[in-house]
Structure 1
Amino acid sequence: MSDPARDGAWLAGLGRRLARAGFLVAGGFAPEPDDNVPALPDGAPAAAVLVVGSLSNTVLPILKERPEWRDGASDPLDRYTRAALTAVAEDEQLGVVFPFDGPPWHPFQRWALRTGGFSRSPLGVLADELHGPWLGLRAALLSREALPATGRSGDGPCPTCSNPPCISACPAGALDSTGYDVPRCLAWLSANPSADCHRGCLARRACPFGRAHAQGPEEAGFHMRSFLSAAF
């Protein structure tokens, strides 16, 4: 079977299929050797990478209708992501890799930065102007053929943010201009089990960008429980 034409119509169709599954194309780039993009399953080099993300308020309602949510096993979102995006990759004759596969771990933040429009936030996650810090990086689709340009210009919103509200909103004092102190955050959460942070990160909620995509209480609680379960 020959590869499908990788034109704008194909890319738009891929975007629609991803949206039905709760995902979106965060951006794309043509990899260079130091990007450490793996080869496709047949050993061919990737000529293009599409970074795929999800918004909790979009993907979790779909996940809740899936067996991964109801079977009681761990990591339902990761397992759903693998099942859904592996099926997309196989149908579209693409390679696929995931940030939760490893070690070795793929440099997903570096890949997302290569697409343009993202910046590193003090929270340790990437942010862009449209989604703020709410877009999770879920997979990368690898094409043996070049793709239409999908990258964005600019360096993301964080460098323009003076007196970042995420830093002052953290009750644990786990954020400063140098980044996120995870042990301090975890220690504070452990010592304050009734704190509002257990229902979602207050620092992330304070970000002025992407407020329309902020997690609702149920989604925020799900991610906080997943974070604490992985840490303890």
Structure 2
Amino acid sequence: MTLADGAAAEGLFVSGHLSIRPEDGLPPTVKSLALLSPDEPRFWTLFRQSAEYLDGEADPLDRWSARVIGQLSEAVGGTPVFPFGGPPWHPFIAWALRSGRAWSSPVGLLVHDSAGLFISYRGAIGLAETFDDTPPAAPPCEECSRPCATACPVGAFAGGSYDVPLCKSWLDRPEGRDCRDNGCLVRRACPVGADLRDPQQSAFHMSAFHRPVRKA
């Protein structure tokens, strides 16, 4: 089984590769890293059938990611790495940028060459094999009219950074229902991968962002 095949079977895809540096803080046996992201729109259907989604306990997506990526890593003889469970926290944003398949968008959020502004990283697998770095591709924003820059109804990105309190205050209002129920308008404005994300998945993530609830 290849890593790509194993990831596909679980509704994930390899969204980037990069070579590891000493400052990345990974074991010396790890020479390269394969980033893993949801393969839309297949991912959401598969995840909703999982025990973690159905058991009603806290953090279902993180628990699913730990189990699935942990098993996949064991199958390919790798080292699982996750963006949660810290400290210490692994630099997934920096890794994504180094992969040459993600960039900082006009609104500051990561934009991916195939997933657009809906890119997320459920984890990564460290590999003993080296990876030949390839020159980064051109970011999709260069050929884009950049509708993301004006899509936020309250201008939460207008100041050059993400104004989280302003965003959350909008979600509290009746007018913010579209963002709450269907996902961030800024992310939805990106033409790259715009038709891949299930609205129910966007609502799941928006709910976790807006009013996170953790069980003891």
Q: Give yes or no for TM over 0.5.
A: yes
Q: Distance in 1 between matches of 2:83 and 2:151?
A: 28
2:49 aligned with 1:61: no
Q: Distance in 2 between matches of 1:152 and 1:136?
A: 22
2:198 aligned with 1:216: yes
TM-score, normalised relative to structure 1:
0.82
| Equivalence for 2:189 | 206
| Equivalence for 2:92 | 108
Compute the displacement of 1:140 (Å).
1.5
Compute the displacement of 1:125 (Å).
3.2
Would the aligned equivalents of 1:119 and 1:126 in 2 still touch at CA under 8 Å?
yes
| Equivalence for 1:19 | 8
Which amino acid counterpart does residue 14 of structure 1 have in structure 2? L
Q: In the alignment, which of 26, 37, 45 is matched to residue 38 of structure 1?
A: 26
> Which secondary structure state, in structure 2, belongs to the residue aligned with residue 106 of structure 1?
coil
> Which secondary structure state, in structure 1, belongs to the residue aligned with residue 172 of structure 2?
helix
Compute the displacement of 1:80 (Å).
0.7
Q: Could you list the runs of 5+ residues in structure 1 that have no partner in the other structure?
A: 1-9
| Equivalence for 2:81 | 97
The 1:131–1:182 alpha-carbon spacing in structure 2 relative to 1, beyond 3 Å, is: same
Q: Distance in 2 between matches of 1:221 and 1:129?
A: 23
2:126 aligned with 1:142: yes
Compute the displacement of 1:152 (Å).
6.1
Across the aligned residues of Structure 1 and Structure 2, the Cα RMSD in angstroms comes to 2.3
| Equivalence for 2:166 | 184
Q: Distance in 2 between matches of 1:166 and 1:229?
A: 24
2:63 aligned with 1:74: no
Compute the displacement of 1:70 (Å).
1.1
The 1:72–1:125 alpha-carbon spacing in structure 2 relative to 1, beyond 3 Å, is: same
Would the aligned equivalents of 2:103 and 2:110 in 1 still touch at CA under 8 Å?
yes
TM-score, normalised relative to structure 2:
0.88
Would the aligned equivalents of 1:25 and 1:50 in 2 still touch at CA under 8 Å?
yes
The 1:230–1:121 alpha-carbon spacing in structure 2 relative to 1, beyond 3 Å, is: farther
The 1:231–1:152 alpha-carbon spacing in structure 2 relative to 1, beyond 3 Å, is: farther
> Which secondary structure state, in structure 1, belongs to the residue aligned with residue 116 of structure 2?
coil
Compute the displacement of 1:151 (Å).
5.1
> Which secondary structure state, in structure 1, belongs to the residue aligned with residue 139 of structure 2?
coil
Query: Which of structure 1's runs of 4+ aligned residues deviate more than 6 A?
Result: none
Would the aligned equivalents of 1:132 and 1:207 in 2 still touch at CA under 8 Å?
yes
Cα shift readout 1:158-180 (whole Å, capped 9, x = no counterpart): 35545x21121111210137232
> Which secondary structure state, in structure 1, belongs to the residue aligned with residue 35 of structure 2?
strand
Q: Distance in 1 between matches of 2:213 and 2:161?
A: 18
Would the aligned equivalents of 1:118 and 1:157 in 2 still touch at CA under 8 Å?
no
Q: Distance in 2 between matches of 1:210 and 1:151?
A: 23
Q: Distance in 2 between matches of 1:56 and 1:231?
A: 25
Compute the displacement of 1:83 (Å).
0.3
